Amino acid sequence: MGTRRDAGIDLVVVCSGPLDESADTLARLNQKVHGYLDTACSGGLWKAYPKALPGPIRIFLSCAHPISTGAQGLINSLKHEAEARGVELRVVKSMSAA
């Protein structure tokens, strides 16, 4: 987690390996993103970072590894859910590219 200079907070999920289509991988990805999304929407995030200027909250999924079709489908669904909750979910190969 980190505060942005221009306002808002960024959260980062980092992949340690490829995102395959196994039930375990998809469940873990879903759980991790939902955990971050729930944290972002709880209001507690702003209490944890009181010096952060109010602004957008983004969740980055940083993954330099291959992403399977099934995992990409889940990510697309999570993007829509995040957007509906006022949070941006963005996939990047590395945070230096963000």
Q: What is the pLDDT of residues 12-57, one digit of tens each?
A: 999 999 999 999 999 999 999 999 999 888 877 777 777 777 778 8
60 in Cβ contact with 90 (< 8 Å): yes
Rg (CA), the chain: 14
Tokens coding 8: 């808002």
Q: How far is CA 98 from CA 34, 50, 95, in A?
A: 21, 24, 5
Pairing mode of beta strands 2-3, 9-14:
antiparallel
Question: Which class in CATH covers the domain with range 2-97?
Answer: alpha beta
Enter the pTM of the model.
Answer: 0.87
Task: Summarize pLDDT for 47-66 with one digit per residue, the tens.
Answer: 777 777 777 889 999 999 99
> For residue 89, is pLDDT > 80?
yes
